[in-house]
Structure 1
């Protein structure tokens, strides 16, 4: 297996864009969430891209897939935290729907990439 250049992967680039948008949103959270949701959401968003890049260094698709699955888990965790923000009325409907849509599209793309790698083993 040849190693993937993570900077050329669409899922990594979209994850990086999601980090930017997430940081913009979390900066608006109440001060009492500075070490709660804000920190958790930022760590999750960074984890999505970080696991993609770390996994791309692995020698086999089997090992890369493990990191992609971790990335996918972080994307689902971020979606849950976003939903908490929505239910607590920390976010407008418009921003919530936009971020949720981007997260769900990224989840789908990561899942599809995993499926393609698994079919090539």
Structure 2
């Protein structure tokens, strides 16, 4: 993980890493991204750190960095489900890595979705860093 990408509670202004997704199947209209902390059970799956939709622009599509703790997102992206965190960790969207530097493993699952909501392709547990 790049320096400064952790949550505000640990001195950062984190955002998701920008990603380039290629090989997107024909008919896909959204890439749905589920951000997880694989080292912390309650936020380890199904978008524990937030779930976002990114519009597909071509067979190769750039997903912009999503700023932490915000509901308004760049590049036509939208919050599907905010992070499941609560209290001081509550977020209107993405919760940046917030483990306090214990080496937790952060991943993203990406799903290519057609206009009917059918999953056309997916990749799971793609590593995006440790904190």
State the TM-score, normalized to the length of structure 2.
0.27
Could you tell me the TM-score, scaled by structure 1's length? 0.28
| Structure holding more helix per residue | 1
Return the structure number with greater strand share.
2
User: Highest Rg: 1 or 2?
Assistant: 1
